[in-house]
Amino acid sequence: MHNLGVLLSGRGSNFLAIADALSSGTIPDTQIAVVISNLADAPGLTAARNRGLNATAIEARGRKRAEHDAEIITTLQAHKVDLVCLAGYMRLLSPGFIQAFPQRILNIHPSLLPAFLGLDAQTQAFEYGVQIAGCTVHFVDEQLDHGPIILQRAIPVLPTDDAHTLAARILEQEHIAYSEAIARVLSGNYEVLGRRYVPKTGDD
Ligand code: GRF
């Protein structure tokens, strides 16, 4: 059985999509061992508790990043987490966190990386005038929205779109992409060559 740890700061729709994929068997032999938020009032934390999952707030306020991260690492390890999924977790990870889970931390970003890093990526893409938008699931390294790409999903920007409708349609793609990327990584059926995710024969 694989154990996932989910870190979130907000509404948690990606977390819920992952939880649904686990319930429906899309990601085999896997469970969410713990959901952690840096914000006690994150709706995603409430949603996790409503599903009967271990869900805990580890607040960052007034603490050094490394110290806060160390408590999160301890909690993840206590739940025997082997893959950490950032799902709208709005804090940068310290190098110690990344080293504690080498190539075992995933993030989802609502743009086709390397375009439009950071906050409000969907609005950045819309205002830039791109005609293809999308989302990226990637391994986390020490730079923002930067590690090797596991999977991307693209959609056209429609003439009728505004930043809000575009973000909503990207979010639909995120909900598909994250579970697929988790299944890919847990299968172990790949290697990372430089920055390139390369499936081994038999995988797509
Ligand atoms: C998503 O757009 C994700 O790509 C970004 O933060 C947002 C989180 O949304 N990293 P939710 O909390 O999963 O609904």
Q: Residue 14 is part of a domain; what is its CATH number?
A: 3.40.50.170
Q: Is the CB of 134 under 6 A from ligand 1?
A: no
* One domain for residues 120 and 202: yes
CA proximity to 142, closest of 113, 102, 181: 102
Low-confidence ranges of the chain (pLDDT < 50): 203
* One domain for residues 60 and 17: yes
Query: Do the Cβ atoms of 94 and 69 come closer than 8 Å?
Result: yes
Which residue out of 140, 171, 172, 182 has the highest number of ligand 1 atoms within 8 Å of its CB and is therefore the one to mutate? 171
The pLDDT assigned to 203 comes to 47
The pLDDT assigned to 201 comes to 79
Number of folded domains that form the chain: 2
**Backbone phi and psi for residue 16, each to the nearest 5 degrees, phi listed first:** -65, -35
Residue finishing a domain among 81, 102, 123: 102
- Expressed as residue numbers, the domain containing 24 is 1-102
Q: Where are the alpha helices (DSSP H) in the chain?
A: 13-23, 43-50, 65-78, 95-100, 121-128, 163-187
Q: How far apart are CA 72 and CA 156, in angstroms?
A: 38
Atom 6 of ligand 1, residue of closest alpha carbon? 88
193 burial type by CB count under 10 A (0-12 exposed, 13-18 middle, 19+ buried):
exposed
Residue finishing a domain among 102, 132, 159: 102
The pLDDT assigned to 73 comes to 98
Q: Which strands sit side by side in the sheet containing 190-193, from one edge to the other?
A: 55-57, 30-37, 2-8, 83-86, 105-109, 132-139, 149-156, 196-199, 190-193
Query: What is the whole-number distance in angstroms between the Cα of residue 201 and the centre of ligand 1?
Result: 32
* One domain for residues 59 and 155: no
Query: What is the whole-number distance in angstroms between the Cα of residue 42 and the centre of ligand 1?
Result: 12
The pLDDT assigned to 204 comes to 52
Query: What is the whole-number distance in angstroms between the Cα of residue 124 and the centre of ligand 1?
Result: 15
* One domain for residues 77 and 158: no
Q: How far apart are CA 70 and CA 59, in angstroms?
A: 12
Atom 7 of ligand 1, residue of closest alpha carbon? 88
* One domain for residues 65 and 120: no
Complete DSSP assignment for 10-66: S--HHHHHHHHHHHTTSSTTEEEEEEEESSTT-HHHHHHHHTT--EEE---TTS-HH
State the DSSP code for 89: -
* One domain for residues 116 and 146: yes
Q: How far apart are CA 159 and CA 85, in angstroms?
A: 34
